[in-house]
Amino acid sequence: MPHSDLTARVDALNRRYRHHSATDVLRDALADAQAGRLALVSSFGAESVVLLHMLSVTRRDTPVIFIDTRLLFAETLVYQQELAERLGLRDVRITRTPRPELDAQDPDGRLHTRDTDACCALRKTRPLQRALAGFDGWITGRKRFQGGARQTLDFFEIEAGTGRIKVNPLAHWTPEDIRTYMEENRLPRHPLVTQGYPSIGCMPCTTRVAPGEDPRAGRWRGEEKTECGIHFVDGKPVRQGENA
């Protein structure tokens, strides 16, 4: 689809759903022809249960893509299995980088110590792009309060370089909204949250966060890097106003 047509489509979607709730955006986007065929991409991380629960009560047969980087915390893998079963998600697709590709590009499993961007591209970005083949767009759990380029995030945006759209139902939610939703629906938290991990990624690149620190301070601590790469194009952060 020409970029101008895609831009017009995304603009129309944002106008249509500007005053809708997160649940309405998710439900209606899944049924809206302009949004196309969508999958939800989830890390099954600290706040993922909110969007996954919304999906389970909206349309639980929606494809859910989970990227197993082979470097995740064991707690995340267990949480993913237990949560998918508890919520009755019917189409969870676990994607990984093929072993031969890993062996060729990260033979010692230490690429993350030399080049974190290359490691994320190998273990997350490329597997995701393969998993998204055939979809018109994907649903994310990003929120404005997470800062950086996400501060102007809208419900719908263009994924540069792919011709797909991204849907961000929780874009306008606050941390209080997240906590309230989890409490009201009695949703299980990721076990590492209570151990000081408010943002959870791969084990080698995630550390505990001290009281008062930014929730994402434990991700790639000591580096300028703030994103894993799935919201990047060719390994670089995309800056399109609201895009992250």
Q: What is the pLDDT of residues 184-221, one digit of tens each?
A: 999 999 999 999 999 999 999 999 999 888 888 888 88
Contact 190, 200 (CB under 8 A): yes
Query: Does pLDDT of 148 surpass 70?
Result: no
Task: Count CB-CB contacts under 10 A for residue 194.
Answer: 8
Q: Give the position of tokens 């597997």.
A: 127
Give tens-digit pLDDT for 64-89.
999 999 999 999 999 999 999 999 99
Sign of CA dihedral 48, 174, 157, 149: negative
Contact 136, 37 (CB under 8 A): yes
pLDDT band (50, 70, 90) for residue 143: confident
Q: What pLDDT score does 214 carry?
A: 84
Nearest to 101 by CA among 70, 58, 73, 142: 70
Longest Cα–Cα distance in the chain: 50
Query: Does pLDDT of 238 surpass 50?
Result: no
The rounded mean pLDDT for the chain is 88
Integer distance in angstroms from the first to the last C-alpha of the chain? 22
**Cα–Cα distance measured from residue 110 to residue 90, given in angstroms and rounded to the nearest whole number:** 35
For residue 205, indicate whether it is catalytic. no
Contact 100, 130 (CB under 8 A): no
User: What's the pTM value of the predicted model, to 2 decimals?
Assistant: 0.86
Of these residues, 119, 120, 205, 228, which one is catalytic? Answer: 228
Please, what are the domains in the chain? 3-237 (3.40.50.620)
**Cα–Cα distance measured from residue 79 to residue 43, given in angstroms and rounded to the nearest whole number:** 10
Contact 48, 56 (CB under 8 A): no
219 to each of 21, 208, 215, 226, 232, how far by Cα in Å?
A: 30, 9, 9, 7, 16
**27-33: long-range contacts at Cβ-Cβ below 8 A with a sequence spacing of 24 or more?**
27/58, 27/59, 29/139, 29/156, 29/167, 29/169, 30/58, 30/59, 30/62
Considering the chain, what percentage of its residues have pLDDT values greater than 90?
68
